[in-house]
Amino acid sequence: MENQKKTLYTEEGYKNLVDELQYLKDVRIPEIKVQIAEARAFGDLSENSEYDEAKNEQAKAVTRIAELEKLINEATIINESEIRADVVNLGSFVKVYDSDMDEEVEYSIVGSNEADPMQGRISDQSPLGSAMLGAKVGEEVTVVAPFGEYKVKILAVSRSKDN
C-alpha cells in the first residue's frame, strides 16, 4: 500500500482547492476546447500561434487539475471545533509582539499549501509558525530562523479574526 503524506488544511483552504478544481473542469477546460476548435479553423496548424497557445493553456490546465486532485486526495481538514481556542494551532489567529521590530503583528496559522506571508497567512511548518504552535497568551517563544534567533510574545490567540 502506498504511503501517502497527508497535508493539513483549514476548511477555507480545502474549499479553495475544491473550488479551483471545479472551475478548471467546468469552465476553463471547455473554454480552451473552444479556443482550440477556433484555432483549427484558421488552417495550417504548423504555423498557427493561436493553436499552439491554446494547446499550451490546455496542458497547463490539465497539469493543474492533476496537482489539485492529488492535493485534495492527500488533504486532511482540521476540525477547528476540537482544537483549544487558547492555544496556538493550525487555524489560529495570533497577535504577537516582536521586540526586535518593536511592533505588534497578527498572523493566521495555516497549512503549508495555504501560506501567503504577504497576507499574514503563515505556515505551521515555517520557523515562526512552528515556534508558536502550542503556545498560550503571555508566553514568549524563540523563533529559529535562517537569519538567526528572535523572540515573540503571544498577545492574543483566537479561532476567528474578529476575536
Tell me the backbone φ, ψ of residue 104, rounded to 5 degrees: -95, 135
**By CB neighbour count within 10 A (0-12 exposed, 13-18 middle, 19+ buried), where does 36 fall?**
middle
> What was the pLDDT predicted at 161?
56
111-136 per-position pLDDT tens digit:
888 888 899 999 988 999 999 999 99
Distance CA 43, CA 45 (A): 6
| Domains of the chain, first to last | 7-77 (1.10.287.180), 83-158 (3.10.50.30)
**pLDDT average per 10 residues of sequence, the chain (163 residues):** 65 90 96 90 78 92 94 83 78 89 90 87 92 93 90 88 50
pTM score: 0.67
